[in-house]
Structure 1
């Protein structure tokens, strides 16, 4: 009896199956600083993190930090105050979303990491991580940080900083 070699066996033996596995091993680490503001009435900001392509089209919402515990989902009402995210991705999103929604964050540095599996739909290319913050009785600010996906080699972290509602935003793509 003669056994025909299967395509998967050939791909595994030749290393062709390693490419998707390498992309899944990659990760995108993001550090977002929410500054401590000295104001009379302070409210934690709503914050959205998403990825845009070179045409500034939203490719994937990574995180939305808002008041998820208000009764009757009232926190959803104020998501539209993050205007750019809302226009590009938010109005079609169903919130809360598992793995995306989270509570507002206190002032300080907040680190989140996204695996290659979470970013599997991104084609190789240049992107921007966009962070938008909006605060009740406060302002609104957007910060964009460019990065390449998937990362081919360890690279320096890319960063940008806001002026009021956001501090430093640092993006590190690791192969």
Structure 2
């Protein structure tokens, strides 16, 4: 008697390392940052993370945290304005200077189930009394082999590293 066993299904994974640079300016504010995946036609496949001032109306009567999300113009125009924040597992507080890591598995929230094809990881930062910057990294899904493509911002973002694992 033989038993048939199905091989375990492993999903591809995607890691994102975002560096928030330490800036030497007189009035420093942590940047708002949006991270998302775009299809080849520049439509949003899914928003992975949005970091903003998440203070609630009880300690921020003006509720300004969400007011400035539109300053991340590219993300806002491509889909951010259609989202109702906060979003569990996607939105969070702004991050201090340093390197921050996000990890996702294909099809597990907030990572969308991606059809095979060409995509871009896009990271956008906007800072009060500062600038705005967008960095993107093209990639193929699903990844055929492990890779770590990188791109760097010039001011508001440091090194952005995409870690792809089949």
2:140 to 148, 158, 170: 148
Q: CA deviation at 1:14?
A: 9.7
Q: Is the 8 A contact 2:106 2:114 kept in 1?
A: no
1:26-62 C-alpha deviation (Å, 9 max, x unpaired): 1101000010000000000000000001111111000
Q: Which runs of 5+ in 1 are unaligned?
A: 1-12
> Which secondary structure state, in structure 2, belongs to the residue aligned with residue 55 of structure 1?
coil
Aligned partners of 1:89, 1:14: CA distance in 2, in Å? 43
**Offset of residue 117 of structure 1:** 2.6
Distance of aligned partners of 1:120 and 1:14 in 2 relative to their CA distance in 1, 3 Å threshold:
farther
Higher helix share: 1
Matches within 5 A, 1:95-106: 95-106=85-96
- Let me know the Cα RMSD of the aligned residues: 1.7
How many residues align structurally? 157
Cα distance in 2 for residues equivalent to 1:92 and 1:35: 29
Q: Confirm whether residue 74 of structure 1 aligns to residue 60 of structure 2.
A: no
What CA deviation, in whole Å up to 9, does each residue of 1:89-138 have, x standing for no partner?
11100100011001100001111101123235211111110000000000
Q: Does 1:168 align with 2:154?
A: no
Give TM-score scaled by structure 1 length.
0.84
Match of 1:158 in 2: 149
CA distance in 1, matches of 2:101, 2:5: 38
In the TM superposition, structure 1's runs of 4+ consecutive aligned residues that sit over 3 Å from their partners are none
Runs of 5+ unmatched residues, structure 2 = none
Please say if residues 33 and 123 of structure 2, whose CA atoms lie closer than 8 Å, have aligned partners that are also in contact.
yes
Give how far 1:70 is off: 4.1
